[in-house]
Amino acid sequence: MPTHLTVHAAEPGPVIDRHIFGNFAEHLGRCIYDGLWVGPDSKVPNVRGWRSDLVAALRQIRLPNLRWPGGCFADDYHWREGIGPREKRPRRINAHWGGVVETNAVGTHEFLDLCEQIGCEPYLAGNVGSGSPAELRDWVEYCNAAAGSLADLRAANGRREPWKVRLWGVGNENWGCGGNMTAEYYANEYRRFATYVRDFPNAPLYRVAGGARNDDFHWTDVQMREAFKGPIGGPMLQGLSLHYYVVPGDFPPKHPATGYNHDGWKTVMALGWKIDDHIRGHRAVMDRYDPAAKTALVVDEWGSWYAVEPGTNPGFLYQQQTIRDAVLASLTLNIFINHCERVRIANLAQTVNVLQAVALTEEGGGRLVLTPTWDVMGFYAAHQDARRLPVHSDAATLKHEGMTYPAVSATASLAADNSVTVTLCNTDPAAPAEITLALTGRTPVVSEARLLASADLNTCNTFDHPRAIASRPFDSIRVNGTQVTATLPPGAIASLRFA
C-alpha cells in the first residue's frame, strides 16, 4: 500500500528557526582536543589550531550554532582559566569525562574564533553548579562589553571588538551533574544568576534556563512558574532547555552502535519517536504560562547513545554510526519542525567523535570521516528559516515493545526563493516505502532529489571506506502530472526540492 503525502504548498505556516539544526561540542573525549582542535603546530591543515577539513564540513551543512563547553563540563568550567597565554593556563582534571588532564588550551578566544571560521553563532553554557553569579556576569561582560576593565583585558588578550555573544545557557542538567538541585532550588538560582547575566549596548542576551530531561514536566512547570514572569513583568528566560537521548536498554548504555538486528532497529525508532510525546507535554505546560510562546523550548542535547566502541576509553563516548542513526536524525528533526512554534533551538550531541557525531577523526590527527548523520544535516539545511508547510500523510503506524511510530515521516517547507523542500524517511528496516506525493496549488517541478540509503543496515563509514554510506541522486523519482511517485528503500531518507 503506498503512503499518500499531500503538501499544502500555498499554506505556509511558522518559520522553522535555523537554530533547530545546531550542534554541541563539549570538552569530552576527542570532541574538542584531537577532534576539532589539533593545535596551531599540527601537521593537519588548520587555521589557528582548528582542523580545516572539519570546519569546511560544518560550513557545508550550514551549521547555525554551536553549544560549548558542556554539558556536565560546563558546571565545572571557570572561564578565566581559559584566557591569556596558553602555556600559563592551569591544567585541571576533567572529572566528568575520563579524568584526563584539561589543558585549557581551548578557551573563550579559541572557541569564538572557531565559530567565526564556521560562520555559526556561539551558544555558551555558563557555570551555575560550581560557579557564582559574579563569575558568569563577568564572562558575559568579557565577551560583550565595549569598555571597562574586562573589555581591556579582552583587548590585551588579542580581541578589541566585543563578540556580542547572544546565546547563553544558565547551567546544564542542574537536576544532575549541574548541582543535583531540586526544581524549586534551581528556579531560585536561575532567577539569581539571570539577574546578573546582563545585556550590554547592542548585545541583548537570549538566556536559556537549564531544563528537564525526558518527560520531567514538573521541572518545566516550576521553571515557568518561577521565571517566566520576571520581577519587572517580562520573561526572565528566553529559552528553557530539554535533553533527550535515545539509549536502547536505558543507562548505562550497553547496546553497541552496530551489529543490531531488526528488533534493535525498531527499538531506536520507537524510542526516537517518544520525544514527540515529551515535547507535547512540555509545550502544554509552557502554554499555560506563556500562551504566546515567547519562551522557546531549547532541545540542546539530543541523539543516540550506545556502548562505546570496543577498545576506546569508556569516558570518551566514542561510537560508530549506521543508517539507523541517520533515520533517527531525520525522524527527530521532523518532530522539531512539527513543533517549531515552540522548539526554536536544538543541538545534536555531539559534533565529532562523541555520541551521534557528524564526523569522526583518527586518533592523533589522522583521517576524517563524515557520518550518515552529516548527510541528513545537509538535507535539512534547506529548511533553515523557511516556512513550514502542512503535510497530510496517511502513513501506517508501526508498533514495537508497546511504543508506536510512523512508518513514513515527512516535513516540508517553503523557502524565500519560493522553492519547496520535502524531507522524508522510511523507518521500516525491512520493507520499501512506496510514496505518492502531491503539492496542492502547484505543478511539481523537481529541481533536486537526493537519497541516503544503505543496502546493509549495519554498514558504517570508516577511515578506509569513508563514503560507504553517502547521499546520491534519487533517480527513481517520477513526476506524472500533479503526482510524484517514489520508492524509498528500507531504512532510508530522501530530500526532494521543487522549483
Give the residue numbers marked as catalytic. 173, 301
What cell was used for 381?
A: 539545511
Spatial CA neighbour of 108 closest among 36, 163, 161, 71: 163
Cis preceding-peptide flag for 252 (omega within 30 of 0) = yes
172 near ligand AHR, judged by CB under 6 A? yes
Site size with ligand AHR, rule: CB under 6 A: 10
Which of the ranges 68-76, 190-198, 254-262, 284-292 carries the binding residues for ligand AHR, by CB under 6 A? 68-76
Q: Which one among 75, 215, 301, 325 touches ligand AHR, defined by CB under 6 A?
A: 301
Q: Which is nearer to ligand AHR, 103 or 172 (CB)?
A: 172
Note whether 71 binds ligand AHR by CB under 6 A: yes
Q: Does 300 bind ligand AHR (CB under 6 A)?
A: no
The CB-of-27 to ligand AHR minimum distance in angstroms stands at 9
Q: Can you tell me the distance from the alpha carbon of 78 to that of 69, in angstroms, rounded to the nearest whole number?
A: 10
For ligand AHR, the binding residue among 173, 189, 216, 375 (CB under 6 A) is 173
Extract the C-alpha cell encoding 211: 531544563
Interaction with ligand AHR in 22-61: which residues (CB under 6 A)? 26
How far is 245 from 199, CA to CA, in rounded Å? 33
Task: Tell me the three-class secondary structure of 355-416, residue by residue.
Answer: CCCCEEECCCCCCEEECHHHHHHHHHHHHCCCEEECEEECCCEEEECCEEEECEEEEEEECC
Nearer to ligand AHR, 72 or 424 (CB): 72
Cβ atoms of 391 and 410 within 8 Å: the answer is: yes
Annotate each residue in 103-142 with x if it binds ligand AHR (CB under 6 A) or - if it does not, as one string: ----------------------------------------
Of 249, 170, 150, the C-alpha closest to 211 is: 170
CB 328 to ligand AHR: min, Å: 16
195 vs 80, 178, 452, CA distance in Å? 21, 19, 47
Interaction of residue 356 with ligand AHR, rule CB under 6 A: no
* Site membership for ligand AHR, residue 70 (CB under 6 A): yes
Which residue in this structure is represented by grid cell 550590554?
Answer: 200
Which of these segments, 51-59, 64-72, 162-170, 463-471, binds ligand AHR (CB under 6 A)? 64-72
**Per CB under 6 A, 429 contacts ligand AHR:** no
Supply the minimum distance, in Å, between the C-beta of residue 220 and ligand AHR. Answer: 17
Per-residue cell: 466: 569513508
What residues make contact with ligand AHR under the rule CB under 6 A? 26, 70-72, 172-173, 301, 349-350, 355
